[in-house]
Chains A and B, each alone.
Chain A
Amino acid sequence: MESPLLIFNDKGIYCPPADIYIDAWRPVKKCIISHGHSDHARYGHEYYLTHPRNEPIIKHRLGKINVETVEWGEKFKINGVTFSLHPAGHVIGSSQIRVEYKGEVWVFTGDYKLQNDGVCAPWEPIQCHSLITECTFGLPAFNWRPQHEVMTDINQWWKENQKEGKTSVIFGYTLGKAQRILKHLDPSIGKIHTHGAIENMTTVLRDLCEFPETNLITRETKKEELLGNIVIAPPSAHGSPWIRKMVPYETAAASGWMAFRGARRRRAMDRGFVLSDHCNWHELLTAINEFGAEKIICTHGYTDIFSKYLRSIGLDARTEKTQYEGETLETEKEAV
């Protein structure tokens, strides 16, 4: 029997006939990168291949690297294997990767969501035979509300804190969540301040998308300037000395995990907004239906439960271990 078109080895997802990796977690020669989050775009590969909108992101993160880019839908061949990238709707520049060889089509979703967030190119379904999908939130307990409702809540929360003379501090991942929140904040309420890590990433992304004005918090920033305004910070800033400048403040986290009451309490947040850049249960099922795949491989998230469910509805589904983290709850950094 011939080897599958994509295999999982100790370095990453490998395509033997093309001798190229996808989102490898150990240094390799050639690697296609789905998106800029650190568990997918790692250090140390000799050549990176990705979408042009992801290029400035990974260069910002990884420094000097060899990057080639290819537009969405543009087919290119390596050793007779046809590759193309397609929007994943996860964060700016995120792609799904389509691989075709001898009439057989595979798709690797990377991280993805179906809801249009107004920041990145929306997800597109791709017909395929075999699908490698994430399932970070592959549990029927996850159901996202429409983004505009959540953003209305966030703006409302900001206004209420302002009324009480407090600074609003909202935590979201540096790439993706931070800009998604920023894009939909209502600048008529007050000023938007940023933590350094987020300001730097946002500066990179301003060439790719329009965002409201932000003000970097520096050593010179005075407490009074922040009062009543909103601060966007990475999750790692929670509980650090940096946040003392914001006193009196209210904290909030924006994450899919905030669907669980316990998760908000465990992170000791005043508020939790359920906002994720990953598919929820129904989005995953909708996507899988549209991919039309015969074989499904679940990588990160609730893989066991989700693949068991897929088998229970008659699909050929299994799991593979990877080092992708999805959106994490346990660690300080909300990886992705």
Chain B
Amino acid sequence: MKRFAALIKRLDTTNKTNVKVNALAEYFKEVSDQDKVWTIALLSHRRPSRPINTTLLREYAAELARIELWLFEDSYHIVGDLAETIALVIPQTEKKEDEKSLTQYLEDMIWLKKQDEKVKKSYLQNEWKHLPYYERFVFTKLLTGGFRIGVSQKLMTRALAKATEIDEDILAYKLMGNWKPQTISFKELVLDEKASDYLSKPYPFYLAYALEEEPSDLGSPEEWYAEHKWDGIRAQLIKRNDEIFLWTRGEELVTDRYPEFQKIKDLIPNGTVFDGELLPMINDSIGSFYDLQKRIGRRTVSKSLLEKIPVILRTYDLLEFEEKDLRETAFAERRKKLSNIVNEIAHPTLGISEIITFKKWDDLKEIREEAREVKSEGLMLKRRDASYKIGRKKGDWWKWKLDPMSIDAVLTYAMRGHGRRSNLFTDYTFALWSENEHGERELVTFAKAYSGLTDKEFKAVDKFIKANTVERFGPVRSVVPELVFEIGFEAIAKSTRHKSGVATRFPRIIRWRKDKKIEEANSLEDLKELIQ
């Protein structure tokens, strides 16, 4: 645990990627294999479920710190992080004799979940009393979740590659899937090469960059295919050994959340992997991303929701067929096989993203302009002879999105940014005018937007926020409505969850409209008119 805490401290005290990679690689070389597995698990969202709720955690911590609960809560409000608050208010009273490993602590947590409150309390208070400050903090973080130390799964994989001298892409592949740190050894997870382990494993997704030049710069139209760019979730559907697996791009196994795919399980031959887009269907036509969101978070799906918003996979690539990895074959060939198999299966849950034929780039431009009418975000351009690559690579795949829609909105709330901009207020909330029931115009929040300003502009807005704060709510400040920004977004849909009644997709700041007064900002009605 000491070593793991030291690692977290190191990761937490640097913003430099290469320092983080080196610290992690060094750590991987030093610790036991089982600690390695658990560290990989923790850094890839595979922590054990919380053994205790936070209400009890607070009570036990306040009691041990000998302070009343209100004082603990007030301190928590100021510190802003529960594990940190607990670690700070509890003084270390007794020296620890034996050192428990990270693995032991995580095994403790799995055990602890099943214990009664009395056992939980005495276990936690005993650990808190004995652990030095930073270990106490890390230990409590393991209980509450969410380290936020700027280590992505990718960065962790790079470090592991450095420590083991195994190719990073191969490691990324190995670490995917449905493994459990409790039951797997480092050898099995990382070192061994066994085909059967890969049963559920998807392929790393090939991701496209946004096209910045004119498409005509890509060369002759004959070398390219175009498809619509669908606004759903990128996913791989796998059928191997009579089982079906559904993975989303966040490398998350979501098979259980989309039971509709069980219906087509028997129709798909073993050893098949599709790449495509999960899309919601409303009355037999594609719904909005907002409809899909009603399904995304649900781990268990009710029958009525399943009927109301069924989800389909609109396929656009075939990565494996007849148990053969097809990624090195040309895209045109993969597409041909794909359309054959999808036609054979012939089930509405498995669709295909049609190839758009075009002779001249200009023809394609026209089609792109009308993309919104078919509920697409624009076009994808794919080179006909391209292989299926790993990660985001330039050259063979491009996304050619529509220009976003935009609206002028008023800055109303601000929060501090992360990383390099953590000393500035860079996360903003924007509002539009709306008429309330008394016929008065008021500002109604409609979107949060993060990026899009230059450093210089961020500094100026930050200064304005600090000088014009109305109220503080923890890290959030409300500000005097005075600044107007043009906010762009890629899609818009009606929403009952949002106060504004509207949900926007990928809102971002296009520019600061210094030329506009808040009275000139748009209204919610203007925004709603953009919904098709």
Q: A residues near B, CB below 8 A?
A: 139-143, 259-262, 264-268, 270-272, 302, 305, 308-309, 312, 330
Contact = CB atoms under 8 A, between A and B. Distances in A.
B157 to A, nearest CB: 24
A261 B85 CA distance: 11
A36 to B, nearest CB: 27
B115 interface: no
A205 to B, nearest CB: 31
Contact of A143 (B78, B84, B88, B423): B88
Given A141-B85, A259-B88, A264 B13 contact: yes
A266 B422 contact: yes
Interface residues of B, number: 26
Q: Which 7 A-B pairs have the closest CB atoms?
A: A141-B88, A140-B89, A141-B75, A265-B422, A305-B74, A266-B423, A266-B422
Contacts of A272: 13
18 contacts: A140-B65, A140-B67, A140-B72, A140-B88, A141-B78, A142-B88, A143-B91, A261-B81, A262-B79, A262-B80, A266-B422, A267-B423, A268-B423, A270-B14, A305-B74, A308-B70, A309-B71, A312-B68
Contacts of A267: 423
B81 A141 contact: no
A305 B67 CA distance: 12
A223 B180 CA distance: 52
Contacts of B68: 312
A266 B416 contact: yes
Given A140-B89, A259-B88, A302 B81 contact: no
A267 B422 CA distance: 8
A312 B71 CA distance: 10
A260 B75 CA distance: 11
B79 A268 contact: no
B451 interface: no
Interface string B409-423: 000000010001011
Given A142-B88, A266-B423, A268-B422, A261 B78 contact: no
A326 to B, nearest CB: 14
B7 to A, nearest CB: 15
Contacts of A261: 12, 81, 84
B416 A260 contact: no
Nearest to A272: B13
Given A260-B84, A261-B81, A262-B81, A139 B75 contact: yes
A140 B75 contact: yes
Contact of B79 (A141, A305, A308): A141
B340 interface: no
Nearest to A145: B133
Contacts of A330: 466
Nearest to B13: A271
A188 B423 CA distance: 35
Contacts of B71: 140, 305, 308-309, 312
Contacts of A143: 88, 91
B85 to A, nearest CB: 6
